[in-house]
Chain A
Amino acid sequence: MTARTTALSLVVILSMATSAGCRRRVEPTPVPDPAPSTVGDARGVADAAAAEARARRQADSIAAANRAAAASANTADAQRAVAELTAVLQQRVFFDYDRDNLRDEAASLLDAKAAILLANPAVTLTITGHTDERGTAEYNLALGQRRAAQVKRYLMAKGVSDRRLSTQSLGDSEPAASGTDDGAYQQNRRAEFGVGNAGGALVRPRS
C-alpha cells in the first residue's frame, strides 16, 4: 500500500519534471514570422505549419502530463478508499453461543457496512455464517445459516437491496481459530463477508 503510493508519487514527479524540461526547450524557439514569406514561398509556409504542429503537440503533451499527474493523485486516493472500505465490508461479526442475535458492536459495524453499500450500489456481499464446534454438525450448519440471515436482515432494514446480499453457512467446518477454549470458540462464532465489486472503485459514504 505505502510502496504503491510512493511509486505513484514518483511517477507524478517524473512526469512533471519531463514536462518542465519540454517547456524550457520550447520557449526559446522563435515563432516563424509569416510576414516576410511570400505566398509563393511554399517551403516557408510548410516550415511554419510544422513548427506550429510541433508546438501544439508539445502543448498537448504538457496538458496530458498535467492531467496524468492529477489523475495519479486521484487514483492513489481511490485506491486508498477501496482498501479502507473493503476492509470495513470484510470485517467479521461475532456472536454469542448458540445465538444469532446481533450484539451492539456488531450492529455498529453493520451500520458502517450498510452506509458503504448504499453509497456503492454495484457492490454485493456474500455473508457466510460459522459456528464453534460444540453443537452437532447438522445443527451447526443451520445455526450458521441463521446467523448469516440475521446479518442480511439487518442490512436490508438499513435499505440495502435483497438482491445484493447472499447467505450461506459452513457450520463448524472452517474454524478461524483452533483450540477448545472460550477464546477460540468466540473467534469461530462469526459471520464472514465476501465482497463482490465488479467496478473496482468504491466511494466513501457522505457522513
Chain B
Amino acid sequence: MSSALARFTRATLPSRRLCMLFVAALAPVALAAQDTTRGVRIGLAYDAGSKPGVVVLPVAGPLGDSVRAIVARDLDFSDRINVIALDPASAGAAQRGDLPNWALLARLGASGAVQLTATPAGFHLAVFNVATRQTALVRDYLAPPSTDTRGWRGVLHGIADDLEESFTGTRGIARTRVLFERGRRIWMVDSDGEGAMPVSELATPASPAWHPSGRSIAYSTYVPSQVVVQELGGRPRVVASGPGVYISPAFTPDGEGVVYAHGVDNGVDLHAVSAAGGEGRRLSVGRGSDNVSPSFSPDGRRIAFMSGRSGHPEIYTMDADGTNVDLLTPLDLGESAYRAAPDWSPDGRLVAFQSRIAGSFQLMTVNLRDRSLRQLTSEGRNEDPTWAPDARHVAFVSTRTGSRQLWVLDVESGRARQLTRGQPVRLPAWSPRLAR
C-alpha cells in the first residue's frame, strides 16, 4: 500500500512538495474510489470519475463574497472538482473560529475545505483535509488592491489553480486567457469570461496566436497584408508583409519563430520566419493548393495544418521543416468533405479540428496514436477549436444560441459553458498558463 501510494504520487504529480504531502493525505479517498473500478487493473491509474468534493468556506470582509465566488467558480470550471454549495444555514455553521466544522463538512461529503482570508497584503489561504481533520496547506499571496481588477482577479485565479493542483495533482487553467477576433479587433478575455478587452489597434486583424511566454501575441491583417508580433500592451511589429495574403500565424514552441500561410499567385503555402523578422522561407509544397492554419506538436517537431491539395480541405501533418507530409484525417472522398482548423493538444495525444457534418461544422478529435476519430459537438455550427493548457478543455466558436460566441467544452465530461457574450466573435486562441 505504501509503495503503491508512492507510485501514485510519483506518477500523477509534479514535484511540488506541498501538494505531494497533501495528496498523500487524501490518498485513501483516491484508492477507495479505485477499488470500485471493474475489470483488469493496470497500475494505479487516476480515476477521472471520482471528483473530490470541496467546500469553499465563507470569506469575511466587504469583498468576501466576490473572492469566494471567483475561486469557487474557477474550481467548478475545472471540471475536476465537485464544488459543494452551502445553504445559508450551513454557511453560518461551517466554521468554528479559525477551524472548519469537521462534522458538518463530512456530512456534506467534502474531502477538502478552502479557507481564504483577506490580509493587508493580499490573501491568506488554508486548505483542510476533512478526513484527517488536519490543515493540509497554508500559503500567503500578495495581491494588488481590488481597484486593479485584472491583477486582483488574476491572483485569485492563481489561487484556484494552486488548489486544483493540490486536490487533483493537475494544475488548473483559471489563470489563462483567450484571444479572439471581434469587430475587426483582437480581444482578450479571462478564462472565466470576465474582463473582455480589445488588445489590438490595427484594422482587419485575424488569427491571433500566443507566444509561449504568454507575454506577446502574433496575428495577421489582410489590409495591409502582413503578420505582426505585438507585446501585450505594446505596439505591433511587422515580421512578414507584401503582396498576396498573410494568414494564420503560429509561434514555434520555443518562441523563436513564427510559421504562417502566405501566397500570391500560385496557391498558399506555409512559411517560417524569425520572430524578430527577416526573410521568410517556404515550408510546405502545395503546388498551387491552399495550405493554412499551422499548429505545432508540443515538442515542436511536427506541424498539423489544413491543406486543399487533395481537392478539398483535409488535415495533414509534416515535419517542422516541411518534409514527411502525412494525411492525418482519413481521406473522405465525399463531395462535402471539409476538415479544417487543426489544433494540437498540449499533451500531444490529439488534434482537434472541425469537420463538415450534415451541412454544418462540428468539432472532432483525431488520436495521433491510432487515428481514431471522436465527435465532440452536435448542436449548431461549431468551429475553430483551441486547447486549454490542461489538454482537457477546448474553446471554440459556436452558434448554438444564435450568434457566434465562444464556448468552453470539457472533452472528458462533455460539459460546455459559454465564455463570451455580445458582438459575434471568431478565431479563438487559448493562452499558455500565465505567470504569477
Residues in chain A within 8 A of chain B (CB atoms): 98, 135-139, 141-146, 149, 152-153, 166-171, 173
Q: Given that A168-B244, A170-B222 are known contacts, is A146 also in contact with B293, CB under 8 Å in the complex?
A: no
Q: Within the assembled complex, what's the spacing in Å between the Cα atoms of A12 and B306?
A: 64
Using a CB–CB cutoff of 8 Å, the interface residues on chain B facing chain A are 181, 204, 206-207, 222-223, 225, 243-245, 247-248, 261, 263-268, 288, 290-293, 306, 308, 312-313, 338, 340-341, 354, 383-384, 426-427
The answer, among A135, A142, A153, for a CB contact under 8 Å with B247, is A142
Question: What is the minimal beta-carbon distance from B401 to any residue of chain A, in angstroms?
Answer: 16
Determine if A98 and B384 form an interchain contact, defined as CB atoms under 8 angstroms apart.
no
Bound: A139/B354 CA distance, A: 12
Shortest CB distance B341–A (Å): 5
CB distance from B226 to the nearest CB of A (A): 12
For A142, give its contact among B181, B292, B426 (CB under 8 Å): B292
Q: Given contacts A137-B427, A138-B292, could you give 20 more A-B pairs where the C-beta distance is less than 8 Å?
A: A136-B306, A136-B340, A136-B383, A138-B207, A138-B261, A139-B306, A141-B247, A142-B267, A142-B268, A142-B292, A145-B244, A145-B245, A145-B268, A146-B267, A146-B268, A149-B266, A153-B265, A167-B244, A171-B222, A173-B222
Contacts of A98 in B (CB 8 A): 312, 338
A143 and B290 within 8 A (CB): yes
Q: What CA separation (Å) do A143 and B268 show in the bound complex?
A: 9
A170 neighbours in B (Cβ, 8 Å): 222-223
Residue of B nearest to A168 (CB): B225
Q: Is the CB of A139 within 8 A of B308?
A: yes
Expressed in whole angstroms, the Cα–Cα distance for A166 and B264 within the complex equals 9
The answer to whether B263 and A145 have CB atoms under 8 Å apart is: yes
Query: Which residues of chain A have C-beta atoms less than 8 A from B261's C-beta?
Result: 138, 142
Task: Please name 27 pairs of A and B residues whose Cβ atoms are closer than 8 Å in the assembled complex, sorted by A.
Answer: A135-B313, A136-B340, A137-B206, A137-B384, A138-B247, A138-B341, A139-B306, A139-B308, A141-B245, A141-B292, A142-B268, A142-B290, A142-B292, A142-B308, A144-B245, A145-B244, A145-B263, A145-B264, A146-B268, A146-B290, A149-B266, A152-B265, A167-B244, A168-B222, A168-B243, A168-B244, A173-B204
A74 to B225, alpha carbons, bound, how many Å? 42
Query: Closest A-chain residue to B246, C-beta based?
Result: A141
**Of all chain B residues, which has the CB nearest A129?**
B245
Residues of A within 8 A of B341 (CB): 136, 138
Contact at B207–A149, with CB atoms within 8 Å? no
Who on chain A is nearest to B313 by CB? A139
CB of A157 to closest CB in B, whole Å: 13
In the complex formed, the residue of B with least CB distance to A170 is B222
Contacting residue for B338 out of A135, A145, A168, CB 8 A: A135
Q: Are A167 and B340 in contact (CB under 8 A)?
A: no
Please indicate the chain B residues that have their CB under 8 angstroms from the CB of A169 in the complex: 222, 244-245
> In this complex, what residue of B is CB-closest to A136?
B340
User: Which are the 6 A-B pairs with shortest beta-carbon distances?
Assistant: A142-B290, A142-B268, A149-B265, A145-B245, A136-B340, A138-B248
Q: Which residue of B lies closest to A143 (CB)?
A: B290
Task: Please give the distance in Å from B200's CB to the nearest CB on chain A.
Answer: 15
In the complex, the answer to whether A139 meets B293 with C-beta atoms within 8 Å is: yes
Tell me the complex Cα distance, A98–B383, Å: 18
A138 to B266, CA, bound (A): 17
For the complex, what is the distance from the CA of A168 to the CA of B288, rounded to whole Å?
Answer: 16
Contacts of A153 in B (CB 8 A): 265
A100 to B248, CA, bound (A): 21
Chain A nearest CB, measured from B87 CB (Å): 47
- A141-B222 contact in complex given A136-B340, A146-B267, C-beta closer than 8 Å: yes
Question: In this complex, which of A138, A144, A169, A171 has the most chain B Cβ atoms within 10 angstroms of its Cβ?
Answer: A138
Chain A neighbourhood of B264, CB < 8 A = 145, 149, 167
Across the interface, B340 reaches (CB within 8 A) one of A139, A149, A166, A171, namely: A139
Interfacial chain B residues near A136, Cβ < 8 Å = 293, 306, 313, 340-341, 354, 383-384
Minimum CB–CB distance from B288 to chain A (whole Å) comes to 8
Pairwise interchain contact B313-A168, C-beta atoms closer than 8 A? no
With A145-B244, A146-B268 as known contacts, state yes or no: A138 contacts B222, CB within 8 Å: no
Chain B, residue nearest A145 (CB): B245
